[in-house]
Structure 1
Amino acid sequence: MGSYRKGILGPFRGKVGNVIGYSWRGKDLMRGLPKESSVAATEAQLEQRAKFSTVIKFLRPIKNIVGTYFGKEQGTKSPFNLATGYHLKEALLPGTDDTWLIDYPKVLISRGVLRGVDNPAVAAGGAGEINLSWTDNSGQGSADATDKMIAVVFCTEMAEFVEFNPQGTRADGAAVLKVPLYLSGTLAEVWMTFVTENGKQVAISSYAGSVTVP
């Protein structure tokens, strides 16, 4: 991989011959195309690819949240890279026929040092509504009443996410999450977290539970 400020015709994107041009963190970069291998992948390699594919497919739709709130950059690893690594190690369950499943209670949508969530719970509300509740722990440690609450709902049967960013504050103790009515009758997994009002500190998220969308 090589970086450059001015190519022959300036920065470019995509493939030109056997070179690919792209941008990464504000830098214009080039790399050669990988050589095709004639060696068959091992069982361990195939397993790792299947795991990686499962995690990326799950996280990509909520990249704007995990890519912002999953810790801080560590060298070349972005928050989204860190989230991917965590879920590969901690949030997968073996399925059938060499497939992998997301272990929903182990999922994290954020990771930080802010005081987290106490007693999160979900319950069915009105049509298309999920009632989310928690204990207001404002004033305990780093917790502030104005901390913003962020929630993510994943309707498993439709493989569809609904984000609530933000949806009230820590002091509220409860929120009504309104999801599209076409998701009624589906099972939803719910996670929540807190972020400071200035967005600089975030808590480790909590799994609030699962509920059938009314």
Structure 2
Amino acid sequence: MATLNKGILGGFSGKVGTVVGANWRGLDIIRSRPKNAKRNPTEKQLEQQMKFKLAVSFLQPLKTIQSMYFGSGSGVKSRVNMAVSYTINEAIQVVVGLPELIYNKVLITRGELTSFQNAVLTTQPGGVLHLEWEDNSTQGNAAPADLVSIVCYCEELKNWEIFEGIVMRSDLMADVTLPAYCLGKTMEVYAFLNNVKQTAASTSFYLGQHLVN
């Protein structure tokens, strides 16, 4: 706020818009407001920016899933923001100045539903992924009708393949067939369960890195 020193026709002190009034050696002067100093980001800030960019681009195709099944959704942060924060803090490392994903720490979902018991994934000719697990439908909050989803990521192609709700927990096995362009590629594979009402999910389970044949 500016202050008039000698009435409306006199000098003033303070800020008005883009100018500043002041009195210097008895003279009323007006000068431009100084520009805010632009500081270059520190190395740590640049590193954090790169991590954030990598996490957001990596998780973008999972936004719909994570908006439903990552954390409780309570508090200030959205589920999607919680997924990004987790990935930055737990699933990205910096190697020679560049951020890299740690795939066995990546989480697709994060929840309280009972997960798989002794899940094992194998590959079969023609791009088929075969998943088997043991029956634990009576443990905790598990139910036989819980739905199984398989999610695959190819680092080379920078591409996700998502198979949601393909079978029930009680089926004890699931097969999915990847597109032809995935043949010969290495895939990071994850699986999770969600209840029929779509109100709860298990924390996703990393099934390893697999060469598609």
TM category, shorter: 0.7 to 0.9
SS in 1 for 2:167: coil
Tell me the number of residue pairs that the alignment of Structure 1 and Structure 2 aligns.
179
Return the TM-score normalized by structure 1: 0.79
Return the TM-score normalized by structure 2: 0.80
Q: Equivalent residue for 1:67?
A: 67
Q: Deviation above 6 Å: which 4+ runs of structure 1?
A: none
Structure 2: state its 5+ residue gaps: 1-34
SS in 2 for 1:84: helix
Q: Equivalent residue for 1:134?
A: 133
Aligned residue runs from structure 1 range 44-193, under 5 A? 44-96=44-96, 98-193=97-192
The amino acid of 2:102's aligned partner reads: D
CA RMSD of aligned residues (A): 1.6
- Larger Rg: 1 or 2? 2
Structure 1: state its 5+ residue gaps: 1-34
Cα drift, residue 36 of structure 1: 8.6
**Kept in 1: contact 2:104–2:206 (CA 8 A):** yes
Query: In structure 1, what is the Cα distance between the partners aligned to 2:99 and 2:135?
Result: 36
- Structure whose residues are more often strand by fraction: 2
Q: Equivalent residue for 1:10?
A: none
Cα drift, residue 114 of structure 1: 0.9
Q: Equivalent residue for 1:43?
A: 43
Cα drift, residue 193 of structure 1: 0.8
Cα drift, residue 202 of structure 1: 1.0
Inter-CA distance 37–206: structure 2 relative to 1 (3 Å threshold): farther
Inter-CA distance 146–80: structure 2 relative to 1 (3 Å threshold): same
Query: In structure 1, what is the Cα distance between the partners aligned to 2:78 and 2:125?
Result: 39
**Kept in 2: contact 1:185–1:212 (CA 8 A):** yes
Query: In structure 2, what is the Cα distance between the partners aligned to 1:115 and 1:57?
Result: 29
